[in-house]
Every structure is written in structure tokens, then in C-alpha cells.
Chains A and B, each alone.
Chain A
């Protein structure tokens, strides 16, 4: 159907070598961009592209334009952070890129699929198959245990669960022992790991994370961020993370800055300091 995006499953093998919860592949935060390599700027190098995408909330006089014709691409196989002050449109950017909402005008392309033309059911199925989500909080269905929560998208897609794959991702996020627990029996960090495992279970094109560490303490947050970075480096998984925390952003390959509904800059190989400096600069404008 599609032109065949890069097969994630082809890179699963190295993921098996990623040991336990400590994702070592990413190296030091703020270190140089890893050997994963930055694919070039060609169209096929983008997992997601926004073309002149505009988002409007509300109607009539109360209408607020959250994004003004944004054109941007998410590099395949990279960890991209999206930053900006409150109200900059970064969450809207994520909603559009992830197919949670449709743009008022413009296009959103996942690979070669135009999301803006899809009906709700088709969109849901596409999210289920090709996109993974990690939210800030309330990621899990309280009635289901960890393993059921992880395999939830598969169930709704009517697909069978491959036990080996479940074991593998559970191990990759460090939940091997906890598959039978209920969400209420887990710590916040553990809950986010379950959410990450669920996001990975369908081998999606892109994983979107919305402030994944917002509800966690610094130490736990750092573990989750290292895990995400590790997934990118070892599995070649494309990850997009929205955050307002320069430290969190420093785990990414690239940081995209948004202000007032527009993209105002990019920063490769970010450090917490350089991101913070740029943010301050944004604030001054």
C-alpha cells in the first residue's frame, strides 16, 4: 500500500541486546548525536510531515488559531523534542502530527498517507497500527493488568499477541516481573514504562510522547528519558516528544522550537544549557 517505510522489525535484533532498564546506548545526556546517523532531508527521510498545517479552536469571534500554516518534518529514526512556552502550540503540533486531530487546512503526512483526508475510524485504525502514544498521566486502563494494557492496541486491532515480542518489549522497558500487576499497584515511573511498552507493541512508525516525565520526579524522569533515547539508538524507533523542560529536551537528537503557533527554530545535538538559552531567547521576543 505505502511505499514501504523502513521496517522497524528489521532492527529488532539489536534491541534484544539493550539490557534491562538502564538504556545505555544513548550515552550521556547532552552528548554528541549518536551513531544512529541523521538521515538526510529528503522526503523519504521524514516519518511525519506537516505541510502548511493550520489548527483553529473554537468558532466565530472566540476562535483561536493554535498553529499558523506550519511546515515541518520529523526525521525518521531520530528522537525529536518539540519545545515552546505555554500556548505556543506544541501540544497542537503533536495532536496533528499524531493523527489525534485533523488540521483546519494544510496536510499531515504519515509516510505517504495523508491523514487530513481520513475518517475517524480509519484514523483510529491508523493510530492503532502505526503510531504509539505516551501521555503525561492516566495512560492505563485501571481494570486491566500490565500485560493486557501493553497488548491493548493489538486486541482492538484483532491481532494475536506474539508472546516472544511481549516478553522482549517488557524486558526492554524493564517490566519483565510486573506483567501481572494492576496499574494501581505500580509507581508512576513504572506506569510510564508500561505506557512506553504499549506504544511499542504495534511496532509503530512513530512514538509520540506528551510531557512523559511531567508527572515524575527528576530521577524517575531521567530513567524514562534514557529509555526513550535508547529505543531510538538501538531500535531505530522514531520518537517525538513534547516538553517544556530543557533537561528533558537535551535527551533528543533535535529540538524543534515553537512560539505563537509557528516554528521558530531548530537545534541539533542539544544540551540543557543550549536549549535553555534558546528558550530564554524565545521568551524575550
Chain B
């Protein structure tokens, strides 16, 4: 053995395998030498703080995003919206607000129901008979509008709902009379005090209440208030007599929910959240929730765990409806029994949806964010590592094994991310709160939905972010560690511009696939056409990122020629730099291209799709007049009333809802939710002109349905077949297909008779009524007649064809906004990484810039050179980014709205470009100014 090595440390030092030159297996233990590696790593960070700021910010931003996603995800799983109306009822029973099909394997697919599902009123007695139940109250709830004396219509507070109830259910909140008396006669009403104040009315005065049955006058006999405040925060309550309320609800034999009050000392159960789940596993199962569930299950009403309507084969030809265990009930419905914060799910239709939206979105978004974080962190780190090429080569030559270099870089990154990650967790919780507010504002989640704040997201963020940084540095170091030690002997680290063959092939393959995706825009169903368009841009962007250096070399050579003509010194240098440093240029341009291309493609494909819905709806509408309601909609009897206006030849209501088509043969996605319209087949002439491919829309009455060709193809149905549908409130139906019509985004994929749809909507209102005038009628006279009709019906507005606004696919709309919001967050993060990347690149050129100064370049000339380079970078980025988004968008627009120009506000594109370019320019300009301020000689010496 060699001497002089201190014996004490000998073993440790050799544990890396040095004792066995060329030996295969290396001992796993890192040995004591890690101390040396860590020491160098720590010194290195302290000495180049500036360079590590980029990585620090990248990890910090990533930690903020991941924490926010985690909080949203946890909230999606465990949080809820606190009940308002049912605050006083410890347990609430509601109908399952979703539909499901049991699959032989894998999780059962679930679709949520857009309309309120009801419970049979007879169940109130069943629940009341359960031991431990003091009373059970059947809730009646229906949308209503208040019409003030001046004819003003009034909905709920802050865009919420105004709901009518029976006075017998006032104790659910509890509402107590502040003044006046309870309603005793059918024309008496009690208002909550807040509503009375908004309407400017009081006890003894007259108001009109509009429901699906029209507007009726009532006398205000009392004002009621909940325990706190004058009214509920997000809904108005109107109390009728119980009998009148049942009548107005339109479902006399049904209740919206059953509120359960317990005998003293009976545990209610139903703790929510992670803790509740754990507790419920260990606790006895005899809570009130359990008892009610058992009693309902005995009557054939069960909860299959996800609150869905079970749709299973139950042995009677598929007509049977219900999951395992209660298959013999034709109307066997799912019920949910809820306590604690989960009662909000029964009260607020969208609470369960809020949760599922949060779970779905944050679930998939977390993956996306993690990918971006790894990319950004890897990008920043690889740049940092690249700039230390020579140092690494020197270390390799004199001291460090490849593993040790890996470990040194990993330690550096661990130290940086170890500080950055915890620093980002706190802001992450705030960001989650901000995102929640944003979601609530765009209406994707219910306003009162509160986040569940726990430690789990913080722990997950620590693991994920440190892991991501570790992966990123491994990726970044992998290439650099292969640097041959002799590189250290070279005078300057010359860029190797060429990229691997695999990378080039991958880039071209992706560009090819992008073209295939563009072609797919023309082929797929219209409603899905935006998907391949966005996908195409994405593929092209990744392809361009792969081909980056090569593409930049070619483009900068092109651009260089014109730069050369413009200016002798600065232009020449800028052109030369850009061509020679094509890899560096690519590193600068690629994130900018990604930002512009991605944002533009996402935004405009969605706006174009939205426009297409209205465009196509108007294209198929030939009605002369459109009657629309204020707020809620139009009472369906207006259609009949309008037909009696002289000169009117035909009217049809448009009742927008959603149905779930069930395809039990399908192995994947047996449930598909589609926009559906209820129309009146007798009033189509002159109102609606939907081209029909086979069959006839005139036969659309009774137990029939018309499908779009897309939907028919998806379900494999033709005229004459029966199709399994679940209506918006969960009612199953199996109508006969009488017509297939050409796809029209404006009218969804399913047309049903309006009288078949109306009873299964929550508000039992039509969206609009289309009115056609007879060919010989005087149009102005008809308009006058309709205006007179509108006067009798508060809130009714008469418009022409162009005023038609069909309902957008709510899910699609909400998702579009959601995407925009999330995209904005991610783009802000990407912009941060762009900025840090460019700052790092520019700072790394200090020596080069100093050299230019030394050989006689004035500060002005060098600045000008940088400015030209910057405009080159920005110009190329705008050009490519726009092109990548424009090609699929043009095809999409031609397909959907018959024009090559995508629809949407142009300022968004301008803003995207401006923000990107500004980020780029500032990130180069500011560090360059600082670098140039230093004396060139010092810059030459102090930096490598």
C-alpha cells in the first residue's frame, strides 16, 4: 500500500472502489469521502450565489405550485361546503346526484347529473320510523323569481338562487319570524329579511312571485331570519304554506331532501376529512347515519359508495335500474345520507361537482405542474452545469470520479432546493386559496366551498420537489459528467453545436405527428375538434424544442444576412454570435416559443369553439323572434301564449339540459354526457332548420329521440333503435330514435320532446322560445303583439334571431376557464424560468463582452450588438410560436366557423406576445447593462 495516507481514514477513502482498479461491483456506501464532496459543493454555492439564484427561484416557484395543487387535491377529496339551509339538521338525506355503471373490472365510471334529482315523498315516513330519529322533514325547494311592484325581477343575492320552500321546513336552518306571522293561506308568503330589504317591501305589502307556472301575486305576512344575519349568504328563501309549496314545486310526490333530527344522545356520525375517515374505521357503526342508511337500503334505496345512480343489468332486459342488492326496483334510486360538512353536498347541487372538479383538475394538473417543474429546474440546472464545464473537467482530471461529480452537483442542488422548497410551501397555501377564489369566481366550484388545510400537501411537496430537483440534476449532470478530463486543458470551452441523431429524428417525427394531428382536426367530431388542434401545437412545440439548436442555426443564418446589411459592427457581431452560439440561442428562444405557442393555441382554440356554438346555433335558427327571460328562463306556457299572437305561425321552446347516454356494450366510457335540447316538433317550421340525415324531426313526440350523427355513430344507433338515456335528474328512459341530424354544436347531440324534458329539469323553464311569423304577416304587428305579451310576463324580452344565445356546454365552458386560469399560473412560472435562463446566459457572457470591450468595442457598440441579438431572439420566438399555433387554429376555424381567422379577442394574442417579448428583452437587457458597467479588465479576470 502507499504510505503517507493517514491509516485512520484509509478504509473510508478506498470504499469507492479504489482498492480494486477496474473492479466491477462498487460498494454501495458512499464512504467518508462525501464530506469532501459536500464541502466543495457548499463552497461552490457560496461563491456563485448569483448563478444559483436561477435554480433557487425555479425550485421555489415549483414548490409554490405543487403545494397549491396538493391543497386543492386534498380539498377535492375531503373538504366540503358548509350547509346553510340545512345548518340545523344533523343528518340530511338526498338523492344521488350522479349516475354510474358497474364494470366487471376497474373503477366504475361516474357522471354527475346536472339537474336536481328528487326523492319519493314516502321515504320521509321511512326515515322518521328509524329508531333514534326524533323527526324527519321532507324539504321542498324550487327556483323562483320575485317581481317587485315596479316590475323589477329579483333573484338570489350575489347571483345566487332564490328558492321557495314550505314554512314547515323553516326549522332546518332554523329560520325564525322577526315580525309578522307564518303563512296560513295559499296567497300568503314569508320572505327572509334580506330579500325583503333588497326588494324594498315589507309585511302587509304585495309582491309577485314568478315560478315555472307563471307570476302570481302574494301578500307578505312575515319576515324571517336565520340565526345570524338577515338572510343566507348565497340564497334567498321564500316560505309558502306547505301545501302551496308542494304544488309550486311541480313534484307533489317528491322531496328534494329529507332533514333528520336525532333523539338526544344518538351519535350522528359522518365525520369528514382524513381524520374522520380514520376515526370511522375504528368506531362502532351504529350512528344515526348508519341506521338511516340501513333503513333505506331495506326499502331498496342504497348508497353504492359514490352517491351515484346504479345502472346495472338486473335481469329484466336492461330496463331494470339499480345497482347490486336492489335490482328488482324499476325506479330503485341511489340515496346519500350525509352528516357534518358533507351535508353541503345535498344542499348545493354543485358541491359534489366542485369536489370532483377539484379532484380531477388538481389531479391531472399536479402531473402537468410536476412535469413543468422538472423541465424548468432541469433547464436551469443544465445551464448552470454547462457554464461550469471547464471546472467539472478540471475536477475530473485532478480528483473527482464521475460519481463524485454527480454527487457534488446533487449536493449543491439539494442544498439549494432544501432551502427553496420549504420557502415555497407557505406561499403555496396562499396560492391555493387564491386559486380557490378564482375557481369560485368563474363558477367551477361552489362559492362557499372551503379548502381543507392539512400538513399532507407540505410533506408531499417536500418529497416531490426535492425528488424533482434530484432527477433534474441527474439529467443535467449526465451529459456534463461525460466531459473528457482533457477539456480542462483547452483554452476555451467551445460550443458543440450539433445535436444527437436520435434527437433530430425525434424532432422530425414529432413535427410529422403534429401535421397528422392537424389533419385530424378535419376528421374528428366538431365538438372534439379543438383537441387535436391543441395537441398538434403541443407536438410541434416539443419537436421544435428538440430541433432547437439546428433550427436556430438555420434561422439565425437567414436573419444574419439581413443584420449584416444593416449595420457593420454591431450587426456583424450579433449575426456571428447567433450563428456560432446556436445552442445558446436555442436555449434562449425555446422557452419563449413554448410560451407564445402554447398560450395562443390553448386560448384561441377554446374561444373559437365557444363562438362556433353560437355561430352554428344561429346558422340553424330561422325564427324571426326570440323570446328570452331575465335570469332563469322562460315559462314554457309562453310558447303556447305566443302562438296565439296574430301573425305568429309557429313557436318552439328550447329547453337546454344534459343527458347521459348509456352504452352498456362499450368496454370503455359506457357513460357519455351530452348537451340535449327539448323542442316542440309541431313548431319547427320557420323556427329551426336543422338538416336531417335520416328520419324526420316532425315525429319527435312522446317516447322518441333524435340524435346527431356524431352521437349515433358513438352509440352505434340508427333510426328505429332504442337508446338508453338518463335524463338530467337521474330518470332513466329508453326512447326510440326517429331521426339523425347533421352535427350542430349549438344544439348539442340529443333532441327530445320539450314536454319529456321539462319535468326533469330543476327550474322547469325553457331557455328561450323561438317564434316564426307567417309569410304574409306584418312583422311589425307581430313585434307589437309579442311586446304586449312580454308586458304581462315580467322579465320577458323580445329579440330578433341575432339575439339568440344558446347555452354553452357548461362543463366545457367551466373547463375552458379553468384551463385559462391554471395556464396563466403555469405561464407565470415559465416566464420566471425564461427570465432566469436569459439572465444566466447573459451573465455567463461577461467575459466575452469584456473581451469585445478590450479589443476596441465601445459600450454603445456592445449594447447595440446585444440589442440586435435580443430582437433576433424575440423575433424568432414570435415567428415560430405564432406559426405553431396558427396552423392548427386556421384549420379549426375553417372547420367550425367557416373563416380562416380564429375567433376571440385579438388583444389576448397581443398581450401574450408583448409579455413574452418584454420578459425576454428585460431579462437580457438588465443583466447586460450590469455586466457592461464593470471594468472590462476586471471582468476578464474575475469570471470564467
Chain A interface residues toward B at CB < 8 A: 1, 7, 9, 91, 95, 100-101, 113, 117-130, 132-133, 135-144, 148, 152-160, 162, 165, 184, 198-199, 203, 210
Contacts and interface: CB of A to CB of B under 8 A. Distances in A.
B644 interface: no
Contacts of A123: 21
Contacts of B15: 158
Given A156-B37, A184-B942, A142 B31 contact: no
Contacts of A156: 33, 36-37, 40, 395, 399-401, 404
A209 to B, nearest CB: 11
A135 B396 CA distance: 13
Given A100-B485, A148-B43, A210-B489, A125 B18 contact: yes
B399 A152 contact: yes
A9 B3 CA distance: 8
Given A121-B403, A125-B18, A159-B9, A138 B397 contact: no
Interface string B20-40: 111100100001111111011
A124 B17 contact: no
Given A122-B17, A135-B489, A184-B942, A160 B47 contact: no
B400 A141 contact: no
Nearest to B21: A122
B938 to A, nearest CB: 9
A90 to B, nearest CB: 12
A204 to B, nearest CB: 10
Contacts of B20: 122
Contacts of B18: 122, 125-126, 129, 157
A8 B36 CA distance: 25
A122 B394 contact: no
A210 B398 CA distance: 13
Contact of A158 (B4, B22, B33): B33
Interface of B: 1-6, 8-10, 12-18, 20-23, 26, 31-37, 39-40, 43-44, 46-48, 390-391, 394-404, 484-486, 488-489, 491, 941-942, 944
Contact of A141 (B10, B12, B395, B401): B395
A144 B47 CA distance: 8
Contacts of A130: 2
Contact of B43 (A133, A144, A154, A157): A144
Query: Main SS of chain B's interface residues?
Result: helix
Interface centre among B10, B397, B399 (most CB of A within 10 A): B399
Nearest to B42: A143
20 contacts: A9-B4, A95-B486, A121-B403, A125-B16, A130-B2, A133-B397, A136-B491, A138-B394, A141-B40, A141-B391, A144-B43, A148-B39, A153-B399, A156-B395, A156-B400, A156-B401, A157-B36, A158-B34, A160-B9, A165-B4
B605 to A, nearest CB: 47
A209 B850 CA distance: 30
A184 B939 CA distance: 11
B44 A143 contact: yes
A117 B23 CA distance: 11
Given A158-B13, A203-B4, 15 more contacts: A95-B486, A119-B22, A122-B23, A124-B400, A129-B2, A135-B394, A135-B488, A143-B47, A144-B43, A144-B47, A148-B40, A155-B39, A158-B33, A158-B36, A162-B6
B43 A143 contact: yes
Nearest to A204: B2
Contacts of A138: 390, 394, 488, 944
Interface centre among B1, B18, B20, B35 (most CB of A within 10 A): B18
A7 B3 contact: yes
A133 to B, nearest CB: 5
Nearest 10 A/B pairs, CB to CB? A158-B33, A155-B36, A143-B47, A158-B13, A125-B18, A122-B21, A156-B399, A153-B399, A124-B401, A143-B44
Contact of A100 (B13, B397, B942): B397
Contact of A120 (B398, B401, B491, B944): B401
Nearest to A143: B47
A91 B44 CA distance: 30
A118 B22 contact: yes
Nearest to A124: B401
Contacts of B14: 158
Interface centre among B17, B402, B486, B941 (most CB of A within 10 A): B486
Interface centre among A9, A91, A130, A156 (most CB of B within 10 A): A156
A153 B395 CA distance: 9
A144 B40 contact: yes
A139 B47 CA distance: 17
A158 B32 contact: yes
A157 B486 contact: no
Contact of B1 (A1, A91, A100, A132): A1
B398 A153 contact: yes
Contacts of A124: 396, 399-402
A138 to B, nearest CB: 6
Contacts of A160: 6, 8-9
Nearest to A242: B489
B189 to A, nearest CB: 80
Nearest to B481: A120
A4 to B, nearest CB: 9
A142 B23 contact: no
Contacts of A158: 9, 12-16, 31-36
Contacts of B399: 124, 127-128, 152-153, 155-157
Contacts of A122: 17-18, 20-23
Nearest to A121: B401
A207 B491 CA distance: 21
Contacts of B489: 91, 135-136, 210
A41 B944 CA distance: 44
Contact of B484 (A101, A119, A126, A127): A101
A76 B46 CA distance: 42
A30 B744 CA distance: 97
Interface centre among B17, B396, B398 (most CB of A within 10 A): B398
Contacts of A101: 484, 486
A142 B39 CA distance: 14
Contacts of B942: 184
Contact of B394 (A121, A125, A141, A162): A141
A142 B486 contact: no
A203 B32 CA distance: 21
Contacts of B404: 156
Contacts of B6: 159-160, 162
Contacts of B944: 138, 142
B854 to A, nearest CB: 16
A267 B457 CA distance: 73
B26 A121 contact: yes
Contacts of B22: 117-119, 122
Nearest to B3: A9
Contacts of A198: 398
A121 B48 contact: no
Contacts of A120: 401-402
Contacts of B488: 135, 138
B5 A121 contact: no
A129 B4 CA distance: 11
Contacts of A126: 18, 21
A7 B9 CA distance: 20
A135 B391 CA distance: 13
Contacts of B26: 121
A284 B584 CA distance: 44
A70 B44 CA distance: 41
B681 to A, nearest CB: 77
A261 B138 CA distance: 100
A127 B398 CA distance: 7
Contacts of B10: 159
Contact of A127 (B4, B36, B394, B397): B397
B485 to A, nearest CB: 5
Nearest to A101: B486
A132 B34 CA distance: 22
A159 B5 contact: yes
